[in-house]
Amino acid sequence: MEFVSSFEHLAWKVVMSPPRKKTTAEESRPHPSPKSFRWWFARFGNVGLFLGAGILLIVLLGVAQRTGWIRAGSLAAASSADGSQQIHTCPMHPQIRQPGPGRCPICGMALVPATSSGADLDQLAVTIEPAQRRLANVETAEVTKHPVTTKIRTIGSIEIDESRQATIASYIDGRVERLFADYTGVVVEKNDHLAVVYSPQLFSAQVEYLEAQQTLAKTSGSTLASVREAQTKLVANSRQRLVELGMTEEQLAELNTSGEAKSRLTIYAPIGGTVIEKLAEEGKYISAGEPIYRIANLSTVWLMLELYPEDGSRIRFGQVVDAELTSLPGKTLTGRVAFIDPRVDKSNRTVGVRVEFTNENGELRPGDYAQATIEIPIGPQGEVFDAELAGKWISPMHPQVIRDEPGDCPICGMKLVPTSRYGYTEQPVERVESITVPRSALLMAGEHSVVYVETEPGRFEIRNVTLGPILTDEAVILDGLEAGEKVATSGNFLIDSQMQLAGKPSLIDPTRAVPKFRNTPLEFENFQITRLEGEAGQQIEELYRAYFEIQRTLAADKQPSEKSVVTLGRSTEHLLAAEKMPEGVREQLNLIEQNIPHLHHLSLEEARAKFKPISHAIITLSTRIRGADAEQTFNHFFCPMVKQGEGDWLQSEAELRNPYYGSEMLRCGELVGTIPPKTNGESPKEIQDEREHQDGGDQ
């Protein structure tokens, strides 16, 4: 309100103020006529010049477009064909979307059109431009194939070797009169004195034994044989009672010599070692069986490890294990696996592994912790080579005991066994090679793993892979890649975001990345057909007849009959049970056996899907084995229109009948070639040329 009042007051002053008097110069200046040209130019000249310049610019732009100096589309580069402005996004951050070009507010990269994904080569790849590649730091590495060794690192504790422990207990009731090893930790040798026990029971048993001996000595030859025999048994029983009460052979010999009973029994150490527990004191009354000492021989100790089941399955008896103790920094000790628990612990889902270490110097103390390292070759579990075990003999209880010749284990007394029992060879064996990629090349989402393969410069193709063990710096690929290919190791998410923006398969939905299928006929370098005699020859021909029956049924749009399916399965089983078969035949028979069950119970579409691998196996078999009396030539057909490719099948007749489509496309396909019942190692092309020559001669 104050502002309005002030404004009204100012306006009132302007209105009410007297008019300003003109100066002499102003009075003497000539005034233009209101309608003269100078008056109009002074008022509107600037506006006219501006409008004229605009019109001239438009005319010049039109002339430039007509002459080709400027293209009309360049002025609307940021607009789409329908006049709407193109949406741009960031390759690294696809959530950034704005009309028109610019830079990403997060990473500063130049925005690209949202529908741009480089050259649209196919549905499984994008092209990354060099500028984008440099900004996103896209790098690649070669897929390698080499023997792979993984290292298992785990923590375990040092424990006493259970096979080298002893508990010293009293055999009789009595009182501990003296303890020679009077504190824990005393090192004793075998047969050392440990304790003296006073026992009236022992004294009376000795007296009884001596009296029985004296009575036996007094019996003369005139005494009845039965009486003498009874007395002899009494002496033997009395002596055995003393043995049961803990007397040694040396003590019994001394008793026989002296003929004097003693009420005190000396207990000796059964093994050499260290007293780890002292369980009685001098003067204490003890009962029979009550422990006095526990002794452990620490010349060998155990390292107890807990491994995951998948790691435990790759460990073998006698395998080398390196360990480092925190109490011995910088020193690596070497032991061997002595035991692998055949069970998995239900509480923590681990497998116990026991490693044996020699401890002659007493450096390893039970209860200490050690970090263990086990090197495991990646690949199938076959024979391995260990220079220390090649051609040697090993103790089944103590793997540190290795000898050049058979014999007994000096620790447990068991017979030594050859190291070949545990898969160790005398000669070096070739390691299995595995396909690996850098670990950074993997993009993982749940159960799916993908990599981006650079098939051409700048072209990156998504590839589903089957993942094996993941190591520290690399990952083993079981399926999906070949050695020599290049995979993206840096900038993977840029490539994946481009795939997402283009609506192609990506890490979000990798199942859409359907692998390419073979869409060409099966090829064979040559036919090496073996003629099977006897029952095997009859069974293979029966197998072919059952297959042809199924093929004709599917071509007629019907489900296979139970009889033909059962016959095919039975023939396959008989052939698998045969003793001698050419190389590779059992593999094809196994493939048939896997796909034949319940074929007649499946729908027509499902039966045709199962028929495909069966056909591949049958065609391969027909180039390798036939019956001895076989005379029929088979025809190999192929249809390129079969879904997911690989549309091969075999027929006994020459007229094409497509089992994959039936009446829908019964004649779709082509004759690849013929397979005769016997050959001399000719190639398929030679056989085909010879057949065509014969057909021409017949005409």
| The pairing of beta strand 448-456 with beta strand 459-464 | antiparallel
| C-alpha closest to that of 631 among 613, 652, 655, 610 | 652
Q: Give the CATH number for residue 337.
A: 2.40.30.170
558 and 472 in a common domain: no
**Which of 296, 323, 347 represents a domain boundary (last residue)?**
296
Residue 74's pLDDT band (cuts 50, 70, 90):
very low
Share of the chain above pLDDT 70, in %: 81
Mean pLDDT of 300-308: 92
Mean pLDDT of 233-241: 89
Q: What are phi and psi of 439, to 5 degrees?
A: -60, -30
521 within a domain of the structure (yes/no): no
**Which of 296, 314, 346 represents a domain boundary (last residue)?**
296
* pLDDT of amino acid 94: 62
Q: Which residue has the tokens 């995979």?
A: 487
Mean pLDDT of 517-523: 80
Among 65-79, 215-229, 472-486, the least confident range:
65-79
* pLDDT of amino acid 437: 93
* pLDDT of amino acid 1: 43
Task: Sort 598 into a burial class: Cβ within 10 Å, 0-12 / 13-18 / 19+.
Answer: exposed
Q: Bigger pLDDT: 154 or 419?
A: 154
Does residue 405 surpass a pLDDT of 70? yes
Cα gap 80→287, rounded to integer Å: 102
394 within a domain of the structure (yes/no): yes
154 within a domain of the structure (yes/no): no
475 and 594 in a common domain: no
DSSP 484: T
573 and 475 in a common domain: no
Mean pLDDT of 335-363: 90
pLDDT digits (tens, 9 = 90+) for 118-156: 334 357 888 888 888 888 889 999 999 988 888 889 999
Tell me the DSSP string of 165-230.
Answer: EEEEE-SS-EEEEEESS-STT-EE-TT-EEEEEE-HHHHHHHHHHHHHHHHHHH--TTS-HHHHHH
Mean pLDDT of 177-187: 88
Mean pLDDT of 589-594: 91
391 and 508 in a common domain: no
506 within a domain of the structure (yes/no): yes
Highest mean pLDDT among 176-185, 384-393, 552-561: 552-561
* pLDDT of amino acid 388: 78
Cα gap 178→194, rounded to integer Å: 8
* pLDDT of amino acid 397: 83
Q: Give the CATH number for residue 225.
A: 2.40.50.100
Residue 567's pLDDT band (cuts 50, 70, 90):
very high
**Which of 425, 443, 468 represents a domain boundary (last residue)?**
425
Cα gap 691→673, rounded to integer Å: 10
656 and 548 in a common domain: yes
Does residue 635 surpass a pLDDT of 90? yes
Among 379-383, 418-422, 450-454, 457-461, the least confident range:
379-383
318 and 282 in a common domain: no
Q: Which residue has the tokens 């000719």?
A: 682
* pLDDT of amino acid 451: 93
6 within a domain of the structure (yes/no): no
252 and 194 in a common domain: yes
Q: Give the CATH number for residue 477.
A: 2.40.420.20
Does residue 507 surpass a pLDDT of 50? yes
Q: Bigger pLDDT: 79 or 565?
A: 565
Mean pLDDT of 107-114: 72
* pLDDT of amino acid 643: 79
Residue 386's pLDDT band (cuts 50, 70, 90):
confident
620 within a domain of the structure (yes/no): yes
660 and 542 in a common domain: yes
Cα gap 375→382, rounded to integer Å: 15
680 and 536 in a common domain: yes
SS3 127: strand
Cα gap 572→540, rounded to integer Å: 8
Residues 6 or more apart whose CB falls under 8 angstroms from that of 459 comprise 118, 119, 121, 125, 126, 127
* pLDDT of amino acid 102: 84
Residue 548's pLDDT band (cuts 50, 70, 90):
very high
Residue 116 CB neighbour total at 10 angstroms: 17
**Nearest 10 degrees: Cα torsion 141, 144, 147, 149:** 20
683 and 538 in a common domain: yes
pLDDT digits (tens, 9 = 90+) for 277-296: 898 988 899 888 899 999 99
* pLDDT of amino acid 488: 94
Residue 671's pLDDT band (cuts 50, 70, 90):
very high
Residue 139 CB neighbour total at 10 angstroms: 15
Residue 262, CA distances (Å) to 177, 201, 215 in order: 14, 10, 20
Share of the chain above pLDDT 90, in %: 25
pLDDT digits (tens, 9 = 90+) for 27-52: 445 554 555 666 666 666 666 777 77
Does residue 182 surpass a pLDDT of 90? no
* pLDDT of amino acid 81: 45
685 and 613 in a common domain: yes
pLDDT digits (tens, 9 = 90+) for 199-209: 888 889 888 98
- Between helix 200-218 and helix 249-258 the angle, nearest 10°, is 60
Q: Bigger pLDDT: 644 or 655?
A: 655
Residue 560's pLDDT band (cuts 50, 70, 90):
very high
**In what helix (H) or strand (E) does residue 28 lie, and over which residues does it extend?**
helix 24-28
489 within a domain of the structure (yes/no): yes
Q: Which long-range contacts (CB under 8 A, 24 or more apart) does 38-45 make?
A: none
| Overall number of domains in the chain | 5
* pLDDT of amino acid 69: 55
Does residue 681 surpass a pLDDT of 80? no
Among 8-17, 169-178, 624-633, the least confident range:
8-17
What would you measure as the largest C-alpha separation in the chain, in angstroms? Answer: 189
| C-alpha closest to that of 650 among 668, 671, 666, 630 | 671
* pLDDT of amino acid 155: 92
Q: Are 318 and 383 in contact (CB under 8 A)?
A: no
190 within a domain of the structure (yes/no): yes
249 and 307 in a common domain: no
| C-alpha closest to that of 660 among 568, 556, 569, 567 | 556
Q: Which amino acid is at 347?
A: S
State the pTM of this model.
0.51
* pLDDT of amino acid 645: 80
Does residue 14 surpass a pLDDT of 70? no
Mean pLDDT of 92-111: 74
Residue-number span of the structural domain to which 465 is assigned:
136-147+434-512
318-330 burial: b if 16+ Cβ within 10 Å, else e = bbbbbbebeeeee
Arithmetic mean of pLDDT over the chain? 81
* pLDDT of amino acid 354: 93
Q: Which two tokens stand for residue 649?
A: 């099948």
* pLDDT of amino acid 389: 81
Mean pLDDT of 676-688: 67
